[in-house]
Amino acid sequence: MAERVLVINPNSDRGCSAGICDALAPLRMAGGPAVDVATLAEGPDGIYTNRQVAFVVEPLMRLIEAERARTDAFVIACYSDPGLEAAREAFPGLPVFGIRESSVAVALARGDRFGMIAAVDSSLRRHRKWMQASGFGPRLAASEASGLSIAALAADPAGCRPRLVEIGKRLVAGGADVIITACAGMSPYRALLEQECGVAVVDPVQAAGMLALGAARLAAAARQEAGAKAAE
């Protein structure tokens, strides 16, 4: 089986999927797994409520079931990590990553405390609740909502850049050694933020992508090793 990572956008917004695809570009390497993106057609335009998070689980599970024979690792690319536990429960042994969980994992391997930029206050509250529930509360130094919509981030970089840098610097002043950009549409700003704020900046799609890539490579290597043993 050719090595493959499949990153699923659980909302049906293809523009969002394009942004996800672009963010993954640095992780596509010759000799490495294919890193594909799929859009969940049955999903809503955007996932903002708990009701929507529950709604996408069933179609997401069916998509994973359909693709799993030819995929080494999956990424669920919505910051609410919908269906993550359902997928791990239903498919033991299959590597499945959620971008929120992965973003915090990667941040904690870069520094002591992290800061988070979300889009709006309601998202911030939901994500902070998850972080507290997952035991990461004391590691979250500061967080702030940008108030910038995905549309604005795409259409007006010149206007958005200074605002994001200003927030990033406030998070650093509040104790963050690492920043997580916890909202869609911020991937193109990662490198700039890192340079301007002087700390590592973690993009959740890239975080999950590198972990999935690692899992896929290890799975492929294990298959080769087993194949070699069988041949002996």
- Could you say which residues in the range 150-209 bind a copy of itself, by CB under 8 A? 175, 177, 190-191, 194-195, 198-200, 206-209
Residue 165 or 210: the one with the smaller Cβ distance to a copy of itself is 210
Rounded to whole angstroms, the Cα distance separating 89 from 229 reads 31
Site string for a copy of itself, 102-121 (x = CB under 8 A): x-xxx-xxxxx---------
Q: What is the dihedral of CA 35, 99, 163, 201, to 10 degrees?
A: -80
- Identify which of 60, 89, 92, 77 has the alpha carbon closest to the alpha carbon of residue 183: 77
Residues 119-148 interacting with a copy of itself (rule: CB under 8 A) = 125, 129, 132-139
92 binds a copy of itself per the rule CB under 8 A:
yes
Shortest distance, position 54 Cβ to a copy of itself, whole Å: 4
Cα angle, residue 51 at apex, residues 47 and 53 outer, rounded to 5°: 45
The two three-digit tokens of residue 215, written as one number = 């899992």
Residue 14 or 222: the one with the smaller Cβ distance to a copy of itself is 222
Shortest distance, position 30 Cβ to a copy of itself, whole Å: 3
Q: Do the Cβ atoms of 208 and 77 come closer than 8 Å?
A: yes
34 binds a copy of itself per the rule CB under 8 A:
no
- CB neighbours of residue 190 within 10 Å: 18
- Identify which of 53, 24, 55 has the alpha carbon closest to the alpha carbon of residue 38: 24
Angle formed by the axes of helices 99-108 and 121-133, nearest 10°: 70
Residue 184 or 211: the one with the smaller Cβ distance to a copy of itself is 211
Find all residues with CB under 8 Å of 195, minimum gap 6, and list them. none
Shortest distance, position 8 Cβ to a copy of itself, whole Å: 16
Among 90, 155, 162, 166, binds a copy of itself (CB under 8 A): 90
Shortest distance, position 212 Cβ to a copy of itself, whole Å: 9
Among 10, 101, 183, 189, binds a copy of itself (CB under 8 A): 101
Shortest distance, position 136 Cβ to a copy of itself, whole Å: 7
